Amino acid sequence: MSDPVSALKNISDDTGLVTISEIGPIGMITLRGDLSDKALVKAAVAAGGVNLPEQGHCNTQGTQGIAWMSPDELLIICAYADVQDRLADLREKLAGSHALVVNVSDARAVFDIKGDHAREVIAKLAPVDMHPDQFSGTMFRRTRFAQVPAAYWMPDGTSARIVCFRSVAQYMFDLLKTAAMPGSEVRHYA
């Protein structure tokens, strides 16, 4: 089998305010269905390896996790190599439920940004209040970064993991690089 390749071949840049690195490939499974259905939640928890997150949050642990995408959608994150097994397992468990399980690993690009100005870089691109009092902990946000849809969460106070469509990976990288241009600190959250 051919080897999986991430969108930008793990390009990285540390010339700006934050270190930007394209990571991956990462396993991602979209699960849609009734989130109040116990069978579905049980299957999701088994596949994601963490508890079901609250609305607008994500639970992550190491390489795996579950993110709350919308009132009827979860994103299950795992190692790329585990996707097929978890997909099969989910499909088997949800055979009797009205649910959708799709492997979207290759449709996405994932970026990590790290640095003291991570919040600022995001605030320049997304219509989100990035103040530590407003966006913290396990919060997970689907929004736009300039002109493209994206989702992100902050594993810790100075780094963020951003997920976008693979087709706009180069745009996202350029965008982050521009927002992190040296000398462009705003220090709004400092």
Partner 1 sequence: MLTIHCPNCGVTAEETEFHAHGEAHLKRFGPGSSEDEFEGYLFMRKNPKGVHFERWRHQYGCGKWFHVARCTMTLEVFGSYSAQTVEPPQEIIDAIQDRRPDFAAGPAR
- CB-nearer residue toward partner 1: 61 or 143: 143
Binding mask 12-51 for partner 1 (x = CB under 8 A): ----------------------------------------
Q: Which is nearer to partner 1, 114 or 142 (CB)?
A: 142
Which residue among 141, 172, 175, 176 contacts partner 1 (CB under 8 A)? 141
Q: How far is the CB of 150 from partner 1 (least distance, A)?
A: 8
- Rounded Cα gap, residues 127 and 152, in angstroms: 13
Task: Decide if residue 167 touches partner 1 (CB under 8 A).
Answer: no
User: 99: which strand partners?
Assistant: none
Candidates 62, 127, 182, 183; binder of partner 1 (CB under 8 A) is 127
Beta strands, E only, 12-72: 12-13, 19-23, 26-32, 58-61, 64-70
Nearest approach, Cβ of residue 151 and partner 1 (Å): 9
Q: Which of 3, 2, 6, 1 is nearest to 105 (CA)?
A: 6
**Please, what is the minimum distance in Å from the beta carbon of residue 7 to partner 1?**
20
Q: Nearer Cβ to partner 1, position 71 or 182?
A: 71
In 3D space, the residue among 8, 11, 6, 12 whose CA is nearest the CA of residue 24 turns out to be 6
In the complex, minimum distance from the CB of residue 112 to partner 1, in angstroms, rounded to a whole number: 21
Of 143, 178, 137, 189, the closest CA to residue 16 belongs to: 178
At how many degrees (to 10) do helices 118-125 and 169-179 cross? 120
Contact (Cβ atoms closer than 8 angstroms) between residue 105 and residue 7 = no
Binders of partner 1 among residues 64 to 83 (CB under 8 A) are 69-71, 73
Q: How many residues bind partner 1 (CB under 8 A)?
A: 13
Tokens, residue 142: 């689907």
The structure tokens listed for 95 are: 């055979």
Positions touching partner 1 (CB under 8 A) are 55-56, 69-71, 73, 127-128, 141-144, 149
